[in-house]
Amino acid sequence: MTEDQMQARFKHRRRIALISFYLMSLMLIALTAIGLASPTARGAMDDLRWLITTATGLWSTLILGYYVVASYEQGRG
């Protein structure tokens, strides 16, 4: 694999991580807006709070890890 191909590969990986982060952020903003607008939805989200926070924590950890690994491998290569 050439150096240009490697650079493009790592740039693409970081872009995927950033897009995932933006989508996660939009999802959290949407959940917050829905929860503020609807008392029924707020109750349902309150019941699932542990699942929402666990999924958000895992998702953000995976995204951050993926971004860091891509950056580290690019710097190493």
33 has pLDDT over 90: yes
* Per-residue pLDDT at 62: 87
77 has pLDDT over 70: no
3-state secondary structure of 47: helix
Query: What is the pLDDT confidence band of residue 36, given thresholds at 50, 70 and 90?
Result: very high
Residue 48 backbone phi and psi in degrees, to 5:
-100, 15
- Is the full-model pTM beyond 0.75? no
How crowded is the C-beta side of 40, counted as CA atoms within 13 Å?
0
Q: Give the whole-angstrom CA distance, residue 28 versus residue 3.
A: 38
